[in-house]
Amino acid sequence: MIIQNVRITPVAVPDIPLLNCKGVHQSVFLRSVIELVTDTGIVGLGETYGAKRTLAGLRESADALIGLDPFHLNDLRSRVVQALPAGGGVNAPTAVADHQLVDVVSSAFEVACMDIQGKLLDRSVSDLLGGAVRRQVPFSAYLFFKFGRLAGHAEDDRWGEVRTPDALVEEARTLYRENGFKSLKLKGGVLEPDLEIETMFKLREAFPHHPLRIDPNGVWTVDTAIRIGKALDGVLEYLEDPVLGIDGMAAVAREVPMPLATNLAVIEFEHLPDSIAKNAVQVVLSDHHYWGGLRASKHLARLCQAFGLGLSMHSNSHLGISLAAMTHLAASTPNLNYDCDTHYPWMDTDVVTGGKRAFRDGALTVPDGPGLGVELDHDKLTELNTLYEASGVTDRDDTNEIQKYIPGYVRKVPRW
Amino acid sequence: MIIQNVRITPVAVPDIPLLNCKGVHQSVFLRSVIELVTDTGIVGLGETYGAKRTLAGLRESADALIGLDPFHLNDLRSRVVQALPAGGGVNAPTAVADHQLVDVVSSAFEVACMDIQGKLLDRSVSDLLGGAVRRQVPFSAYLFFKFGRLAGHAEDDRWGEVRTPDALVEEARTLYRENGFKSLKLKGGVLEPDLEIETMFKLREAFPHHPLRIDPNGVWTVDTAIRIGKALDGVLEYLEDPVLGIDGMAAVAREVPMPLATNLAVIEFEHLPDSIAKNAVQVVLSDHHYWGGLRASKHLARLCQAFGLGLSMHSNSHLGISLAAMTHLAASTPNLNYDCDTHYPWMDTDVVTGGKRAFRDGALTVPDGPGLGVELDHDKLTELNTLYEASGVTDRDDTNEIQKYIPGYVRKVPRW
């Protein structure tokens, strides 16, 4: 059995104006949907970033996959390495952390290959990863400050403006009511630090038993991070990326009482030795999209266990193919014992048949498979690809976007 | 598909009097042969140690495997953990390094489960591990000093006595002629250190282009190890376990010019943080029999890559089931880039159909599968099980054995 055809379809998915330290989400987020078709007619699905560099990398590697045995995942990576001699990262040059193009591209294709394997075997991807140790995979509520409406729109979206601690708590109540999430994460770095501290205390009051997290994406100084970390003693299960870089994280870790988590300071295996030597990070946020795939994420999990590191899961805006892959991975990883992040509830549509998945008690049931256990809704794929072509958006730029709302907005790292 | 039947058969395999720092090999070595039988009639094979503690652990866990889905390898481990609440190690209390019983038992069963998976899929185990990156897996010649004949025997075996540097070189020539090995490893710690240095120089002279290793199993003092390491500068690709313990290895590593390898100081994931912090070991000798299985060995490989550690493979005396598993693992591990150790050439028989495998140019071709690509020779299994019952040997004790040759022999650690 070999790969005979590779289809890569960029899609744009309607989004809402969620705020972060860089700016605000654009009116659409971009993803690439991958279909690998075998000579036996099995179609394996994958999903990853849809911005320019990733899309180009996927397309440059596509031909190299023709003839690949979908079990030969070592060979898959070698072919991608050959096809992308330039290497490099997928993010914009101004990004504070970048993901290796080779890891991103081979991961997307690996997921599709494992989907093929599962479909061939009539087995779920979680079975291929050692079997689910939990049938329900818990996710955390991903809380955002936000504008009331997209730039140029006349009316607020259903969430309205969320730019105060009280409004954020209301948003959390709604997300909780609709999804049952059992832990809460705030995308911080948006309001003044004291307002974000106030927000966390108000969340604690409103949700006395929910584990809480805040993630300012590294926009604080070390001094600010230490002050906030001390102020939130007893409130947070972990503090995510308060500052940038391993040395900065280590400086904060020495002074604050809670574990530090990261998806910015440690984003590839080769970052771990320095981070471990400096005890910079206590919880690694895995993400199969850039750690090299589902199997690489299992390696990461075992490494974290060996070094006494916690393990949680990072998310970008994504569709149901990635959601399924994340769920299978989390289900089959015994020491992934924090609720996973996901942007998924913020979206109203999906490219998988059956439409948007629902969380129950904050968790998703592991799809039964075969493979990922999801199928493409081709009409929806066409619709979202048409939106991609029509939108004119080919890259993510939250800073440019926020200037539509706040003329002259300047991104600062660190800001506070 | 579930496991319906578990067969564990201890076997004794005729051995010859190979010397090491503890004493001498007994007249037989012990292995356990595992057959897991599914409700669909597929039989998966595994092989591990045959000494008392392992055999007891396998038998105590056997019932817990009934009903297991052979894809659910996380569940497999959980069941073994449940079945062996006492935990503990597999080696004699006097052993200088011990392997966790849970790892050893679950590894043996994991290999058999992966054999089942492969047979179900008509795929090789190496395919299940990501695919072979090399079709030929190179092994090193494992050179031993030895007595000429087993205690109580009237005539020398075909190798005769090997207790001098020159005799060892002759042995190496024969092993090379018969198997084509492209690297040579000496089981040291047997002769006086200066004689072992002389042996390595004579090997270098006789085999100017072969990478060389020596492994005294930690029987040297730190001072002796440093002296020998310096003397063998430029001669060794690595020096294996010159002394015991992470601190001892670190002290040697600071002073000698070559990498240190180990299968004694670092034998489980939880040993790695200390070893890495102290730079005690530069090459980890993996061994799926005690690192927790084939998939755990892949995790180890990725961890070694992340930390810039070399990776090689350890061997005990073993049969063709383990040889197949080792070959599949090595074939599918890109950074396993040293020739693997194996005791296999010292044996004259095997429990797999087709009999003893032959090395060509020092390498084995990866079995095509399905699964491990080997089948049990049931007559041979019965014969070697009968020998097990008849031999009265139920544990390995090289020190007791050598007293049959050298009355009053006392084991010393360290000796020199």
Residues A365-390 pLDDT 10s: 999 989 999 999 999 999 999 999 99
Q: Residue A176, CB half-sphere, CA atoms under 13 Å: how many?
A: 15
* Pairwise CB contact (< 8 Å): B71 & A131: yes
CA distance to partner chain A, nearest, from residue B82 (Å): 15
Is A123 touching B (CB cutoff 8 A)? yes
pLDDT on residue B39: 98
Largest CA distance in chain A: 60
B69·A295 Cβ contact <8 A: no
Give the CA radius of gyration of chain A. 20
pLDDT of residue B114: 98
The total number of residues written for chain B in this structure: 416
Lookup: tokens for B384 = 């070697």
Contact indicator for B75, A131 with CB cutoff of 8 Å: yes
Is A73–B130 a contact, with Cβ atoms under 8 angstroms apart? yes
Structure-block tokens of residue B416: 């020199």
Q: Could you give the CA distance from residue B253 to residue B260 in angstroms, rounded to a whole number?
A: 6
pTM: 0.97
Are B69 and A131 within 8 A, CB to CB? Answer: yes
> What is the overall mean pLDDT for chain B?
97
Token pair, residue B310, equals 């070399």
Three-state DSSP at B284 gives: strand
Inspect the interface and report whether the beta carbons of A131 and B276 lie closer than 8 Å. no
Give the pLDDT score at A246.
98
- Chain B positions in Cβ-Cβ contact with residue A308 (cut-off 8 Å): 273
**H helices then E strands: how many in chain B?**
14, 14
In this structure, are residues A116 and A38 in contact, taking their beta carbons and an 8 Å threshold?
Answer: yes
Out of A25, A185, A289, A314, the active site residue is A314
Confidence of residue A97 (pLDDT cuts 50, 70, 90): confident
Sequence-distant (6+) residues with CB within 8 A of A227 are A193
| CA A331 – CA A363 distance, rounded (Å) | 11
Q: B interface mutation test: which of A3, A71, A266 has the most B CBs within 10 A?
A: A71
For tokens 């832990």, name the residue.
A183
A330 interaction partners in chain B (CB closer than 8 Å)? none
Q: Which pLDDT does position A87 carry in this prediction?
A: 76
Taking contacts as CB-CB distances below 8 angstroms, the residues of chain A near B296 are 302
How many contacts, defined by CB atoms under 8 Å, are there between A and B?
Answer: 89
Q: Which residues of chain B have pLDDT under 70?
A: none
Task: Please spell the DSSP secondary structure of B57-74, one letter per residue.
Answer: HHHHHHGGGTT--TT-HH
Beta bridge partners of A312: A285
C-alpha closest to that of B105 among B74, B81, B128? B81
A127 touches chain B (CB under 8 A): yes
pLDDT of residue B369: 82
Tell me the shortest Cα–Cα distance from B45 to chain A, in angstroms: 18
Quote the CA–CA distance of B15 and B27 in Å, as a whole number.
Answer: 5
Place of tokens 């099995």: A42
- Which residue is associated with the tokens 């198997």? B179
Chain B partners within 8 Å of A121 (Cβ): 120-121
Four-residue CA torsion sign, A292, A298, A301, A306: negative
CA distance B364 to B132: 13
Contact call for residues A238 and A282 (beta carbons, < 8 A)? yes
The token pair at A6 is: 């590779």
Give the tokens for residue B368: 């095509």
Candidate from A74, A128, A272 with C-beta closest to B306: A272
pLDDT at A224: 98
* DSSP alpha helix (H) spans, A66-181: 73-83, 101-121, 125-128, 165-179
Whether the CB-CB separation of B235 and B405 falls below 8 Å is answered with no
Peptide bond into B370 cis (omega under 30): yes
From the list B69, B74, B334, which residue is nearest A133 (CB)?
B74
CA A352, A354, A356, A359 torsion-angle sign: negative
pLDDT in tens, A188-202: 999 999 999 999 999
**The predicted structure's pLDDT at residue B96:** 80
Please give the residue of chain B at the shortest CA–CA distance from A118. B121
CA–CA distance, B399 with A326 (Å, rounded to integer): 53
Give the Cα separation of A239 and B241 in Å (integer): 42
In the block, tokens 């009539």 appear at: A122
For residues B100 and B268, the answer to whether their CB atoms sit within 8 Å is yes
> Which residue on chain B is closest to A274 by alpha carbon?
B307
Q: Which of B120, B123, B295 sits opposite A71 (nearest CB)?
A: B123
Inform me whether the C-beta atom of residue B302 falls under 8 Å from chain A C-beta atoms: yes
What are the structure tokens assigned to B115, written together? 């054999």
B299 inside 8 A of chain A by CB: yes
Q: How many CA atoms lie within 13 A of B196 on its CB side?
A: 31
| C-beta of residue A297 within 8 angstroms of C-beta of residue A333 | yes
pLDDT surpassing 80 at residue A404: yes
CA B113 to CA A179: how far, in whole Å?
38
The Cα–Cα gap between A298 and A336 comes to 10
| Rama region for B141: left / alpha / beta (φ>0; ψ in -120 to 50; rest) | beta
Judged by a CB distance cut-off of 8 A, whether residue B135 touches chain A is: no
| Cβ atoms A266, A290 nearer than 8 A | no
Our CA-based measurement puts residue A109 at a distance from the nearest CA of chain B, in whole angstroms, of 13
Quick check: A72 contacting B, CB < 8 Å? yes
Report yes or no: A406 at the B interface, CB cutoff 8 Å.
Answer: no
Closest CA to B119 of B307, B317, B290, B375: B375
Residue A17 has φ and ψ, to the nearest 5°, of -80, 75
* CA distances for B235 relative to A146, B66, B67, B219, angstroms: 66, 52, 53, 20
pLDDT class for A287, splitting at 50, 70, 90?
A: very high
**Residues in chain B closer than 8 A to A298 (CB atoms):** 295, 299
**Is B2 at the interface with chain A, CB within 8 A?**
no
Nearest-Cα residue of chain B relative to residue A124: B71
Nearest to A334 among B74, B332, B334 (CB): B74
Amino acid sitting at position B15: D
Give the three-state DSSP class for B358: coil
CB contact at 8 A, B117 and B317: no
Using the Cβ of B390 and the Cβ atoms of chain A, whether some distance falls under 8 Å is answered with: no
Q: Which residues of A touch B309 (CB under 8 A)?
A: none
Per residue in A185-242, pLDDT tens? 999 999 999 999 999 999 999 999 999 999 999 999 999 999 999 999 999 999 999 9
Q: Give the tens place of pLDDT for each residue, B46-76.
A: 999 999 999 999 999 999 999 999 999 999 9
- Cβ–Cβ below 8 Å for A74 and B133: yes
Contacts of residue B389, defined as CB under 8 A and 6 or more positions apart, other chains included, come to none
Q: Which residues of B touch A69 (CB under 8 A)?
A: 127, 131
SS3 A6: strand
According to DSSP, residue A141 is labeled E
Neighbour count for residue A245 (Cβ, 10 Å): 17
Contacts of A163 (CB under 8 A, 6+ apart): A19, A145, A146, A147, A191
- Rounded to the nearest angstrom, the minimum Cα separation between B95 and chain A is 24
pLDDT score of A13 = 98
Please report the pLDDT score of residue A88 as a whole number. Answer: 82
Does the distance separating the beta carbons of B272 and A273 come in below 8 Å? no
Structure tokens at B179: 């198997």
Q: Which two tokens stand for residue A155?
A: 């009316």
A355 against A97, higher pLDDT: A355
Chain B residues whose beta carbon lies within 8 Å of the beta carbon of residue A272: 306-307
Contacts B306 to A, Cβ<8 Å: 269-270, 272-273, 303
Residue A2: is its pLDDT beyond 80? yes
Residue A117's alpha-carbon distances to A36, A129, B9, in angstroms, are 11, 11, 33
